[in-house]
Amino acid sequence: MFDAIGYERDVSNGRQRVETALAIVMGDPTEGVPLLRIHSQCFTGEMLGSLRCDCGDQLAMAMQAIAEEGRGLVIYEYQEGRGIGLMAKLEAYELQDGGLDTVEANHALGLKADYRDFSLPAAILRDLGITRVRLLSNNPRKASALARNGVELVVHLSCEAAPTEHSSAYLRTKKERMGHVLNLRKRDAAWHAG
């Protein structure tokens, strides 16, 4: 059984708004060094089963790994499409159907490739009394954000879903243009030290 703890804070990035996240916790994450997945909402992948991305698979893999250990947490941020929102993400999908990659599509819409800064997850960890983690992620920006905010990264674990014919171009873009650490080998999905 997981417990969910809701968090929100006011943020200003040119306009006032509220940023929200859930800490989905199993066991006592202050004992030892818990597994942590920082995960951004992906309605299209998690709810609609989009084949374009690996988001749903990554969330399922992280939840399973935490359940197997009996302790850890997922910080689930409401930042659809790396922070551009659902409507802009759907517009970006249309541009991707025309041949642009995910970064080019965002730029064509006048948006950055990624608006996330991962400071809220660090604040949540501090609130929960967690100072050391084992991070389940392929994104080195998440690890850097935790370190900048005083959270010790004991180990960075890969959380890589096997590429498919539908997701391989997207994953290649994440690796080549956004610096994600991915093998891009067709294999069984797994998390491992990396």
Distance CA 102, CA 119 (A): 24
SS3 state of residue 67: helix
Distance CA 168, CA 85 (A): 23
Look-up: residue for tokens 């929100």? Answer: 8
The active-site residue out of 114, 126, 148, 187 is 114
Q: Contact 92/106 with Cβ under 8 angstroms? A: yes
Dihedrals phi, psi of 13, to nearest 5 degrees: -130, 55
Quick check: is 116 catalytic? Answer: yes
Q: Contact 23/4 with Cβ under 8 angstroms? A: yes
The active-site residue out of 15, 116, 148, 177 is 116
Tell me which residues are annotated as active site: 114, 116
